[in-house]
Amino acid sequence: MSTLKTSEGTSIYFKDWGAGKPVLFSHGWPLDADMWDNQLDFLAENGYRVIAFDRRGFGRSDQPWTGYDYDTFASDINDLIVSLDLQNVTLVGFSMGGGDVTRYINNYGTSRVDGLVLLGAVTPLFGQKEDYPQGVEASVFAGIQAGLRKDRAQFISDFATPFYGTNAGQTVSQGVLTQTLNIALLASLKGTLDCVTAFSTTDFRPDMAKVDVPTLVIHGSNDQVVPFETTGKVAAEMIEGAQLKVYDNAPHGFAVTHSDQLSADLLEFLNSL
């Protein structure tokens, strides 16, 4: 396996396919790099070098006890970018992964970055704060953590319904549901729990101001997990010149339900840079 030892000693697994301008993918919770396989294969076939990694605590990466915060996630991405000497890279982040690629730009700048793509992302703010009352209430995230502690396997199995929108007209195969559960159960329970705290409490509004590269925001209009009106819509408004695409009735997991549409939109954006 291809792995990187980060600056503080955590081993991070990554895939590195194809040749050409690089595109770096950061996955959502509670998944790993395998969520991107369709997009990776498509873009590599169309002349791009694609890199996707397993976040610390997930998939084939190490499971440290600490480090599940966005500054550390951004540091891990920086270590990967520097180690592979990626230049003119486009950063793609889904759900909680939208936070770490944005925090990377905030902390490390855009000297190596050509573009940013936020897919169903938790930016600029997912959870409710005093000055952001429209965010998701803290009790929702406490319920997620309680469900994980009680019966993680069943909770993740049930979570697939709103994630893929199978209660709102979307159809996914039993194989996809099985793979999703298998991927989620590879993760550290500690990392799975701590990431809920990270993505529900981290405020990315200051990070938005640091984004100075072409940006594509894609969100499902029927996202039952990360509400479009308080995340994707606001992020696109905050990032100067951002392009917004809203997939009609698409769920949070549109990388599966709208896979071909997403691949085509990614290729169009990459070709425009």
Residue 92 CA to residue 28 CA, distance in Å, equals 11
> Could you tell me if 47 and 271 are in contact, meaning their C-beta atoms sit under 8 angstroms apart?
no
Q: Strand pairing partners for 148? A: none
For residue 231, give the nearest of 140, 70, 120 by alpha carbon.
Answer: 120
Active-site pick, 26, 32, 194, 252: 252
Structure token pair of residue 238: 């905050």
Tokens encoding 47: 């002349």
Catalytic residue among 61, 95, 188, 263: 95
Kindly name the residue from 16, 32, 54, 223 that is annotated as catalytic.
223
Q: Is 100 a catalytic residue?
A: no
Tokens of 203: 């405020």
CA gap 45, 33 in Å, rounded: 18
Q: Is 95 a catalytic residue?
A: yes
Q: Quick check: is 265 catalytic?
A: no
C-alpha distance from residue 95 to each of 12, 14, 70, 231 (Å): 19, 19, 13, 10
Q: So which residues are the catalytic ones? A: 95, 223, 252
